[in-house]
């Protein structure tokens, strides 16, 4: 029985054309070639995810910092110096680390100084969207031209030439643009090339304006955040940039 089955099995394989599996010598190293092809793509995706995580962290920190800056401005007559200091304090965690040799207070001070330096180099722009200059022309009182904040519920809600009432003029709205440094050099160069209009596909991400173009040209990406709070003091018309574009 056994010889017959072995013979039948061989005949069946021969009938269907089955041949023994032989590995060609030219297939040696095929896995290495495939790995070398796919590795740059995997590395690019990994670095891209890492850079996106850093941008997301910066955006979250900026949102918190801008809200604190608006709160500081609301209780300090919308003075720019108070808004700046609160923004520095809120963005300081981006440049702090765990170091057992210095205290947390010193670490925070180092972070604030770094943010101040970045601001002085022109990588942070703070706009006051409300109240506008025309609102100060409509409702400004006294020698400093401050918009009164008291008894708002008893004041007329008539719309002035600025398009807002005195109640709406007591809303402090800030917009902050922060040029975040690209840690991954490859992506920084891509953004710089695209902002200069040299992308072969004709894609340009840089809008009109010098501030944001300066961000892209220095391998930084502009991150924008806004906050709005009601004034708790009389707002004065302090000096703010006209635009951060």
Q: Comparing C-alpha atoms, which of 181, 71, 168 is closest to residue 115?
A: 181
Q: Comparing C-alpha atoms, which of 107, 47, 46, 84 is closest to residue 174?
A: 84
- Burial group, residue 163, by CB count within 10 angstroms (0-12, 13-18, 19+): exposed
Interval 166-170 mean pLDDT:
95
The pLDDT score that the predictor gives to residue 201 is 45
Quick: pLDDT tens for 51-74.
899 999 999 999 999 999 999 999
Quick: pLDDT tens for 117-167.
999 999 999 999 999 999 999 999 988 899 999 999 999 999 999 999 999
Neighbour order of strands in the sheet with 220-230: 124-130, 171-181, 220-230
Contact 74, 229 (CB under 8 A): yes
Distance CA 167, CA 171 (A): 7
């Amino acid at each position: 029985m056994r010889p017959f089955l072995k013979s039948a099995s061989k005949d069946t394989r021969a009938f269907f054309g089955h041949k023994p599996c032989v590995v060609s010598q030219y297939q040696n190293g095929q896995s290495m070639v495939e790995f070398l092809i796919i590795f740059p793509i995997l590395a690019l995706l990994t670095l891209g995810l890492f850079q996106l995580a850093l941008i997301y962290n910066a955006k979250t920190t900026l949102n918190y910092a801008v809200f604190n800056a608006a709160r500081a401005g609301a209780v300090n007559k919308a003075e720019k110096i108070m808004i700046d200091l609160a923004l520095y304090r809120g963005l300081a965690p981006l440049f702090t680390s765990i170091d057992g040799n210095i205290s947390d207070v010193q670490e925070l001070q180092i972070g604030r100084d770094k943010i101040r330096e970045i601001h002085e180099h022109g990588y942070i722009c703070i706009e006051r969207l409300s109240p506008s200059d025309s609102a100060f022309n409509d409702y400004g009182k006294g020698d400093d031209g401050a918009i009164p904040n008291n008894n708002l519920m008893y004041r007329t809600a008539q719309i002035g030439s600025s398009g807002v009432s005195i109640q709406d003029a007591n809303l402090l709205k800030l917009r902050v643009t922060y040029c975040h440094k690209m840690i991954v050099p490859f992506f920084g160069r891509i953004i710089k090339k695209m902002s200069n209009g040299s992308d072969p596909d004709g894609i340009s991400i840089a809008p009109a304006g010098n501030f944001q173009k300066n961000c892209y040209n220095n391998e930084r990406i502009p991150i924008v955040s806004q906050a709005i709070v009601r004034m708790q003091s009389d707002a004065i018309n302090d000096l703010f940039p006209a635009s951060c574009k």
